[in-house]
Amino acid sequence: MSNSLHIVVCAGIVPDPLQTLEPLATPTGPGLKNEMVLPAVLDPWAASALYEAAALAAKNPGSKLWLVALGPKAKLQQVMMTVAQKVAFELVPVDGPIGGFPDAHATAAALSSAIESIAGLDHTKLLLFGGWESASRGAGVTLQLIGERLGIVDQFFGVDEISLREDGSFEVLERVEGGKHQVSKCAGTPAVLGWATGNLAEPRNNPQVGMANMRTIMPALQKAQTAKLDANSLSYVSVNLPRQQRETRVEKNMTPDEIAAELVDWLGKDF
Amino acid sequence: MGTVAMPETKTMLTLPGDAVRQILWRFADRFDLQMLVQSARGVARGTVARLVASGERNTHEWTAAKDEMLNAFDRAGITAAFMEPEEGGFIAGPKNLALGLAAFELAWVDGGAATASLAGFLALSPIHERGTPEQMKRYKMLAAPPQPGEDRKPWRGAFALTEPIPYVGVDAGMLSGKLRIAEWKDGEEPILEVDKRGRFITGIAVANFVTAAVYTDDPRIKGSCVVILEETDPGTFDRGTATKKLVHQLSSTGDPVFNLRVPASRIVGGYTVKDGVIVPNFNHSEVIEAVFRRTRVPVGLMTASKLLSAVEPVIRYQRQRYRGAEGAKPGSVRYEQGLQQREDALHRLVDVWATGEAASSLGFAAARLFDELDPLEKQKTAILKERGIAGGRAEMKALKESEQRAIEFLKLKEGDPRRAELEADPLVQFVLKDSEANVLCPATKLWNTGHGANMMREAVSLMGGYGITEDCPGFLANKWMDAQLEATYEGPEAVQRRQLTVTMTSEVFLAQFSAWTAEMRRIASTRPGTGACTLASAMNLWTWSLHYLQNATDPTGGKLYHGQRQGVTFALADALSWLMASRCQILDVLELESRGASDAVAAEGLEGTVQFLSDLCHVQAAAAAGEVSRICAELVFGYTRHPAWDEEEHRSCFLAAELEELEETMPGIMAMAVDVVEIDGSHPQKAGPCAGCVGSSEFLRLQSRLTMCLTGARLAKDRAADTVSKVMIPEALDYPAAGPA
């Protein structure tokens, strides 16, 4: 028996992690220096969710996949030139501010409203995916809040795997302490899954997939609704980058053992 | 709060990103091309960069890892970029800009990778340009990557024009391939025997088919043609030994030997039989002319890409040069700015950057032009065919009238009703674009790769000793050496200069050039900071010099502008290429200025970006003007024999006594006279009386104007240098350097 699913992935965009990120004060609150012009990518945590969602949809014929993304639509369009080549989906863009500083409640309200406006979305088949964490300043609560607003009470976070059964129930592996997973069984959809990294590699770019996606993405971007997020509900006392974590280095030629050994050394250091 | 105040300056904020590039190079409305760029970038900075970093360039042989790179091209849609959607591609219509963009992205990391991708296109190009419908369908579909559900390996191709093997007494330009009829039964298709030795054939290690240029060795076949060979054809398909290249090692190159029997239907473009003789519908020259004028542009873009790719690693190196040293404490100028405290380091990088921008603008302008030209060319062929005109010479003759109409069109003012009529004439439009393409293509190949290689050396030098090591970030030393091959293959510099010698003197081109000169003056009146005025003055000087040289002779009466007089013609071709690049660069920046505000991403900090790129234009225009001034002066004056202090030639000099007399009636003349012969016959210590030539005063007037037009160029360079010292760059390069062996 096939379980056709309606999977909605919530994903923001963040600056490419190799970029220089420097917090600064803007008239509308904290921001990152030159963020609008920095190359952006789909938030890597949410990107994992998207790839898992696409794989799940492919395994369950009749399933549909939407990507709901909030950000400046011009910036979203740029990011789509890569993301749209990865997997097939329909984009539901929400034109809004860039950066991770808006209030999570306001963001959740805008995103849940966008999800509710999706024509043909069947809430009984709904799996709401997103990142468990975020590469931007994430409060770590946005996905939960969207789930609450949509009335979805089964929520799983730090997810690395979902196994769907024929009866529509599923098993979820969530990360817990010590590198272990907690195994949960859920009777069925709807559910919220905040993904950790999952198990899938990033799909390769395929412009043909991209061209097919673009037929719906470009009109959707043109019609994107603007979300005005309340900027006054939060005030920031201080904004700093975690300095040690910004020691960026690209290593594509080290073996996993070498990388692990270096990480262990690093963890043992006093900062 | 750990933040800094938002700066309010017009300085460019970050290195120009995709949004800016898409507007500059005019593909902001083409998401098919934007996706191709992202896709090619992913392969370049992933698969390709890892191959280079792991030392895969250190072998001449074709390896499994290199083969995997071609598979990565297939998966990423790079191979399919050449095909129409119905052939397995995803881009409809002309693909010159698309292929240029893909080559640009791959060459950002490695030129050999870009060449490997282009080799397949080059093999298909003869078929694409001149092939029969059956040939096009067969080979393009075979070469297309497998579609979902298909289980097949795409065919790879190689193009074998062939250079003669040196030192064996074969003239350049001779084809080392022979075509004979092996068997021709009544009522059946002839079977041909192809004998061909190739040299420096790219892509040969993996080729499943080869498009080879051959010449008849049989009275029953006329002339030359291009023929398609398949690896399974009966006979010998020997790929030969791998060439021991010092560059571009990620592409395969070898010296194959073919002795094969193929059906006559493999002649590209088909054939007809007249009086028992096979007459190919296209001779090999007609085929390769159509091919090379398109495929040379991506090569020029490859070198342009390398220059721009050098900017980020050089800035990072300069800024971090002293970090870690005892004397460079965090927060100190030495620590923060490193080598960028020094004006020279900044100015030299500005020169590299400006060249990269100009080369890119020129190359992409040429690629776009061919995209416009392709449908016009088809239309032209169809119109002439309807009139019963076909073939190279007949077409050229028939287009003479259109050339005059094109020149008339260029002279008409905006709003003239006749102008609209001529504008709507496809033959007029073809003639205009064709004459432009005939210059832009060789100029791109010549200037981007030749001057680009020189500037790539400059970029390497900016990294100090680090620059010529394997682990230099950005693989700059590889890119420098690779650029030399780009200047050589697909027609070396001399070939491009020779082509320009002919095409730059076409009446239609010169009429366009005159209109462009006026256009630069107009631009200068509203955008003085772009260097457009400098450029217009240089364009004037070039035009005057060309006309002068076309009519002048040397002291022995020999014509100066003559095909055999390459000291004149080639130098003028070089000068023109500088001008073309600078013009395209200025036009691109104006495009960004006018369209940038409507793109939310490009609009951020647009003023600063436009200011910086305009300053680079000014820097480049000044460099171009300097080159043109030097070259033209040398040509105009250099072929006049210097006067000597002999009886005959110092007759024009003042005699000291004569001058004294004149001083009484013309006070001050003694101070102005230069060449004065004293009573005892002595004269100033120099080669002879100062020289002049016919019209030299006009040349000097134009040159003097040009010199004055350099006003402000160094201020622009200072401003650009200041931006280079402040612009934000990423924390790390997005592709690896060489790792441990």
Quick one: tokens of B354?
A: 């400006």
Q: What is the number of other CB atoms lying within 10 angstroms of the CB of residue B498?
A: 17
Whether the CB-CB separation of B632 and B60 falls below 8 Å is answered with: no
As a whole number of angstroms, the distance between CA B478 and CA B302 comes to 13
Q: What tens digit of pLDDT does each residue of B530-580 get?
A: 999 999 999 999 999 999 999 999 999 999 999 999 999 999 999 999 999
Q: Is residue A265 situated within a structural domain?
A: no
Q: What tens digit of pLDDT does each residue of B68-111 get?
A: 999 999 999 999 999 999 888 999 999 999 999 999 999 999 99
DSSP label at B175? -
**pLDDT interval class at B740 (50, 70, 90):** very low
Whether the CB-CB separation of A24 and A30 falls below 8 Å is answered with: yes
pLDDT of amino acid A247? 63
Q: How far is C-alpha B274 from the chain's CA centre?
A: 41
pLDDT of amino acid B523? 97
Inter-chain residue contact A73 with B600, CB threshold 8 Å: yes
DSSP run (H or E) holding B418: helix B417-423
Whether the CB-CB separation of B437 and B366 falls below 8 Å is answered with: yes
Inter-chain residue contact B80 with A38, CB threshold 8 Å: no
Q: Is the pLDDT of residue B6 over 90?
A: no
Q: Is residue A126 situated within a structural domain?
A: yes
As a whole number of angstroms, the distance between CA B118 and CA B719 comes to 38
**pLDDT interval class at B414 (50, 70, 90):** confident
Quick one: tokens of B48?
A: 């390709």
| B733 interfaces chain A, CB cutoff of 8 Å | yes
Residue keyed to tokens 């997103």: A130
> Model pTM?
0.92
pLDDT of amino acid A241? 76
Inter-chain residue contact B731 with A20, CB threshold 8 Å: yes
Whether the CB-CB separation of B367 and B297 falls below 8 Å is answered with: yes
Interface with B, mutate which of A18, A24, A205 (most B CBs under 10 A):
A205
As a whole number of angstroms, the distance between CA A39 and CA B655 comes to 74
DSSP run (H or E) holding B486: helix B476-486
Q: Is residue A222 situated within a structural domain?
A: yes
- Residue A97: is the preceding peptide bond cis (ω within 30°)? no
Inter-chain residue contact B6 with A24, CB threshold 8 Å: yes
Residue keyed to tokens 């402040």: B726
As a whole number of angstroms, the distance between CA B584 and CA B589 comes to 9
Q: Is residue A257 situated within a structural domain?
A: no
Tell me which chain A residues have a C-beta less than 8 angstroms from the C-beta of B1: 25, 30, 236-239
Question: Residue B507: helix, strand or coil by DSSP?
Answer: helix
pLDDT of amino acid A1? 46
Tell me which chain A residues have a C-beta less than 8 angstroms from the C-beta of B605: 34, 37
Q: Is the pLDDT of residue B241 over 60?
A: yes
| B149 interfaces chain A, CB cutoff of 8 Å | no
Q: Which residue has the higher pLDDT, B133 or B738?
A: B133
Residues 6+ apart with CB under 8 A from B556: none
B174: left (phi over 0), alpha (psi -120 to 50) or beta: beta
Which amino acid, one-letter code, is at B151? Answer: D
Whether the CB-CB separation of A65 and A11 falls below 8 Å is answered with: no
Per-residue pLDDT of chain A (271 residues; tens, 9 = 90+): 468 999 999 999 999 988 888 888 888 788 888 888 899 999 999 999 999 999 999 999 999 999 999 999 999 999 999 999 999 999 999 999 888 888 899 999 999 999 999 999 999 999 999 999 888 877 789 999 999 999 999 999 999 999 999 999 999 999 998 789 999 999 999 999 999 999 999 998 888 899 999 999 999 999 999 998 875 567 888 888 766 555 667 777 888 899 999 988 888 776 5
How large a percentage of chain B has pLDDT more than 70? 96
Q: What is the number of other CB atoms lying within 10 angstroms of the CB of residue B67?
A: 14
Q: Which residue has the higher pLDDT, A229 or B447?
A: B447
Tell me which chain A residues have a C-beta less than 8 angstroms from the C-beta of B80: 207-208
Q: Is residue A181 situated within a structural domain?
A: yes
**pLDDT interval class at B7 (50, 70, 90):** very low
A72 closest CA partner among A47, A110, A19, A36: A36
Q: What tens digit of pLDDT does each residue of B695-711 get?
A: 788 999 999 999 999 99
Quick one: tokens of A182?
A: 């907690």
Inter-chain residue contact A23 with B740, CB threshold 8 Å: no
Q: Is the pLDDT of residue B484 over 70?
A: yes
Residue of B nearest to A97 (CA): B600
How large a percentage of chain B has pLDDT more than 90? 78
Give me the sign of the Cα torsion angle A37, A39, A40, A44: negative
Which residue in the set A25, A37, A251 is minimally distant from B3, CB to CB? A25
Q: Rounded to a whole number, what is the distance in Å from the CA of A252 to chain B's nearest CA? A: 7
| B591 interfaces chain A, CB cutoff of 8 Å | no
Quick one: tokens of A201?
A: 């590699």
Inter-chain residue contact B736 with A251, CB threshold 8 Å: yes
pLDDT of amino acid B1? 45
Residues 6+ apart with CB under 8 A from B86: none
Q: Is residue A234 situated within a structural domain?
A: no
Q: What is the number of other CB atoms lying within 10 angstroms of the CB of residue B449?
A: 30
Q: Rounded to a whole number, what is the distance in Å from the CA of A24 to chain B's nearest CA? A: 4
pLDDT of amino acid B164? 59
Residue keyed to tokens 């054809």: B233
As a whole number of angstroms, the distance between CA A210 and CA B276 comes to 53
As a whole number of angstroms, the distance between CA A123 and CA A146 comes to 13
Q: Is the pLDDT of residue B4 over 60?
A: no
The rounded mean pLDDT for chain B is 92
Whether the CB-CB separation of B284 and B222 falls below 8 Å is answered with: no
Whether the CB-CB separation of A76 and A97 falls below 8 Å is answered with: no
Q: Is the pLDDT of residue B302 over 90?
A: yes
Q: Is the pLDDT of residue B329 over 50?
A: yes
Least trusted range by pLDDT, from A172-181, B99-108, B338-347, B388-397:
B388-397
Tell me which chain A residues have a C-beta less than 8 angstroms from the C-beta of B47: none
Q: Give φ, ψ of B625 to 5 degrees.
A: -60, -40
Whether the CB-CB separation of A139 and A194 falls below 8 Å is answered with: no
pLDDT of amino acid B632? 98
Which residue in the set B3, B5, B14 is minimally distant from A38, CB to CB? B14
Interface with B, mutate which of A34, A37, A78 (most B CBs under 10 A):
A37
Q: Which residue has the higher pLDDT, B524 or B394?
A: B524
Pairing of strands B201-202, B253-254: antiparallel
Which residue in the set A36, A84, A239 is minimally distant from B3, CB to CB? A239
Mean pLDDT calculated for residue range B474-490? 95
Which amino acid, one-letter code, is at A253? Answer: N
pLDDT of amino acid B682? 83
pLDDT of amino acid B175? 62
pLDDT of amino acid B452? 98
Mean pLDDT calculated for residue range B453-482? 94
ipTM: 0.86
Inter-chain residue contact B728 with A20, CB threshold 8 Å: yes
Mean pLDDT calculated for residue range B497-524? 97
Q: Is residue A249 situated within a structural domain?
A: no
Inter-chain residue contact B90 with A253, CB threshold 8 Å: no
pLDDT of amino acid B741? 39
Least trusted range by pLDDT, from A41-45, B199-203, B671-675, B732-736:
B671-675
Q: Is residue A180 situated within a structural domain?
A: yes
Residues β-bridged to residue B553 = B559
- Domain that residue A152 falls in: 6-226
Number of compact structural domains in chain A: 1
**What CATH number corresponds to the domain at position A39?**
3.40.50.620
Whether the CB-CB separation of B612 and B720 falls below 8 Å is answered with: yes
Inter-chain residue contact B731 with A238, CB threshold 8 Å: no
Interface with B, mutate which of A81, A216, A246 (most B CBs under 10 A):
A81
Residue keyed to tokens 């992409």: B364
